[in-house]
Amino acid sequence: MMLVVVVVTVMMVLEVMLMMTIKMQPLLLLMMMIILIIMMVVVVIIMIMVTITMTITMKKKKKKMMMMKKKKKKKKMLLLLLLLLLLMMMMMMMMMMMMMMINKYQYRSRHICGDTNTFL
């Protein structure tokens, strides 16, 4: 729970920083907002999934141990898949951020002096 809160706060700080930096391009801001909302939704879904799995495991611990061993593997696989999805999302976010930064610097450098590679 604490980790999720920390992640959310970091995301909010990043968003504020981007809002401060990108003043001239509102479309990029909109894109960032949409991505942030998607990330928030994904985090919430993962939290729900984790809680559900925890409750299920707690309930099934009363039953046979053999059953538990068989079903734990599937749950681990699911959790791994979710983690992979999150990593993919984070990678996408990073790519978008890089693209935006490059575009912004190109935009600025064109206005200052005709060379596009000054800030890159």
In this structure, is residue 118 part of a structural domain?
A: no
pLDDT tens-place string over residues 63-86: 555 555 555 666 777 777 777 777
Rounded to two decimals, the pTM is 0.34
In this structure, is residue 112 part of a structural domain?
A: no
In this structure, is residue 32 part of a structural domain?
A: no
Number of domains in the chain: 1
Q: Which of 54, 42, 57 is nearest to 7 (CA)?
A: 42
In this structure, is residue 48 part of a structural domain?
A: yes
Quote the tokens at residue 32.
């960032």
- The overall average pLDDT reported for the chain is 66
What is the per-residue pLDDT for 1?
55
Residue 114: φ, ψ to 5°: -45, -10
Between CA 68 and CA 16 the distance in angstroms is 46
In this structure, is residue 49 part of a structural domain?
A: yes
Mean pLDDT of 7-33: 66
In this structure, is residue 47 part of a structural domain?
A: yes
Quote the tokens at residue 114.
């005709």
What is the per-residue pLDDT for 44?
74
What range defines the domain where residue 51 resides? 40-55+78-86
Q: How confident is the model at residue 119 (pLDDT cuts 50, 70, 90)?
A: very low
In this structure, is residue 51 part of a structural domain?
A: yes
Kindly tell me if the per-residue pLDDT of 60 is higher than 70. no
Percent share of the chain, pLDDT over 70: 44
In this structure, is residue 50 part of a structural domain?
A: yes
